[in-house]
A and B are shown apart, each in its own frame.
Chain A
Amino acid sequence: MRSKKVKIINPILTLLTIGVFWEFVVRTLNIPNYVLPSPSTIFSTAAKYSLYLAFNLLDTLVAALMGLAIAAVFSLALSLPLAYSEVIRDSIYPLITGFNAIPRAALVPLLALWFGLGAVPKVLTAFLIAFFPILVPTLTAMITMEKELWEMLQSFGASKGQILTKVAVPRAMPYFLSSLHMGLTSAFVGAVIAEMVASDKGLGYVILSSTSRLDTPLAFACLILLALTTFVISKVLSMVERRVVKWAYRVNI
């Protein structure tokens, strides 16, 4: 039987192996730092710039999380009228799908033009990229229901509002919460892109400026930080999920 310890230790071992192999390759082939820095160089760089990185990470983190929060609230709020009325759905949903087809990165210059170089365009970009992957599964879960369940509710004389609040919304909660994972990575993508295009702060900016002066180890440090951060937040989300919608995890597959 695989114990919980093994589940944690195994990926760490894999990671360490990759790290050692990476270090070995870079050293033996004498690959220059600006092409591919070795793990040890990345860590020493990260340590040297730790305060600088921390401030910039905080900047990205705040923007991404605010974008995600707004996206979550907005998606949930929007899914209610969309689920409530087919007419509303038919008149709004195609527009949303159409909007989703626009590469949001292309909007960043416009957002910067309207809102300057501060946090606003970052939060907005994060929001714009994150809301669609949250809205779609949430709405789908709300409007798909066993026909017989719907008929039974009708036979009690349930109103549309009652069906929505008593069945559709609780039913959609697991889908909503799990879609936050997708939303989370999307929000980080949005924030980082905005920082690359129109900001002088945040990890996106640091990646751009460091690569432009061939400080590749610093860029790698940023990437690793980003990965770690989203990983940790994702874990926290999972924990919340399992608490809030315990019923959805009735089987452990």
Chain B
Amino acid sequence: MDPVVQLRKVSVRYGNSNGGLTAVADVDLSVMPGEVVSIVGKSGCGKTTLLKVIAGLVRPVSGEVLFNNKGVNGYSKGVGMLFQSPLLLPWRTVIKNILLPIEIINGDLESYLSRAYELIEKTGLKGYENSYPWELSGGMQQRVALCRALIHKPPLLLLDEPFSALDAITREEMWNLLQEVITYEKCTTILVTHDVREAVLLSDRVVVMGGKPGRIKSELMINFRRPRDLMVQYTKEFNDYVVMIKNLIGD
């Protein structure tokens, strides 16, 4: 099987050639189909930048980015993205927000309507199809955003601290939901997070980045079978992973 995403010696600079800043340097990373990879690291070490490179929103100054074995130039069309804030359009109802990518990609709303309802059902938003985003709680809004990220069956889901604005209880609910959905959708996922526990719980592999300029320091496989029960957090193995990763980030 070929990787969905391959980064080879990717470096990114912001600003012009003399006064700029190297945000990411010589990053090699491959993500296999169906894999869930988390990227952790200190603030400002280039995690978001790396996601943007994969999405084709930022061009590397050197190195190669392959998406399904094809070079990325322009935007990697079709990736699903979820950010810290849900970024819903307040003048659109839930269902219309979810269908926004379809409107833009091919306009074939009819054939995706049943999928939209399926996702709504799965994410526990049934009955809120015609509500407006501002009538929903923060967690519900983020679930709408998740549906929107998945509606077009993206081959790759990019998540940038998607749950960091939520309270602890809602976040755990979202962990369960995300596991359920990406298992069902068999979605390849890259998750950027500050929360080491979240990274260990959700991913097959945790990539630790170090900063100035951002590089990959090390990688760690998480050997629990997915999807995982929230109780796994309280096992010794889990905590060993967490401590190990914290140490890797720390020095």
Q: Residues of A at under 8 Å CB distance from B? A: 146, 148-149, 151-158, 162, 166-167, 170-171, 173, 245, 247-248, 250
CB distance from A243 to the nearest CB of B (A): 13
Other-chain contact of B91, A148, A154, A170 (Cβ < 8 Å): A170
Other-chain contact of B134, A149, A158, A250 (Cβ < 8 Å): A250
* Size category of the binding interface on chain B: 20 to 34
A to B CB contacts below 8 Å, 8 in the list: A148-B83, A152-B83, A154-B57, A155-B56, A155-B76, A156-B105, A171-B91, A250-B132
B91 touches A166 (CB 8 A): no
A interface footprint on B71-112 (CB within 8 Å = 1, 0 otherwise): 000011111010101010111000000001101110000000
CA distance A170 to B78 in the complex (A): 24
CB distance from B124 to the nearest CB of A (A): 23
Main secondary structure of the interface of B (DSSP, over half): loop
A151 touches B90 (CB 8 A): no
How many A-B pairs fall under 8 Å by CB? 59
Q: Residues of B at under 8 Å CB distance from A? A: 52, 55-57, 75-79, 81, 83, 85, 87, 89-91, 100-101, 103-105, 132, 134, 152
Indicate whether A155 sits within 8 Å of B77 (C-beta atoms), given known contacts A245-B91, A247-B134, A250-B90.
yes
Chain A, Cβ-Cβ closest to B87 = A149
Residues of A within 8 A of B83 (CB): 148, 152
Residues of A within 8 A of B76 (CB): 155
B104 touches A166 (CB 8 A): yes
CA distance A154 to B75 in the complex (A): 7
- From A158, A245, A248, name the one whose CB has the most chain B CB atoms within 10 angstroms: A158
Residues of B within 8 A of A152 (CB): 81, 83, 87
CA distance A173 to B79 in the complex (A): 30
